[in-house]
Amino acid sequence: QVQLVESGGGLVQPGGSLRLSCAASGFTSSNYAMRWYRQAPGKERELVATLTSAGSTSYADSVKGRFSISRDNAKNTVYLQMNSLKPEDTAEYYCSTLYGMNRYWGQGTQVTVSS
């Protein structure tokens, strides 16, 4: 069955970096668009980054130039490299894909940016 498992979150100081991982199983992630979302307390979940099966990327304006989405096909894993982190990047981060008629989500990984 389709499964997504995120890792790599943690506490980081403003200006720091983190790399999130999303390990996919039950399907070949390179054949599908993969997305990273985030949700801060009291706010709606927002789309952060998309990586299509063709390799195209897109980003929310708030993270453009700081975040980068990529994949390792051999590991069936998608990454979100986050640089120059800001306190407003604090959120639970989720990876997601649309497989068949269903959207699948991982369990999330918490990112906290604070001094």
* Confidence tier at 97 by pLDDT (50, 70, 90): very high
* Confidence tier at 71 by pLDDT (50, 70, 90): very high
pLDDT at 27: 96
pLDDT at 31: 95
pLDDT at 80: 98
CA distance 76 to 56: 17
The mean pLDDT value of the chain amounts to 97
* Confidence tier at 2 by pLDDT (50, 70, 90): very high
Which tens digits make up the pLDDT trace of 55-64?
999 999 999 9
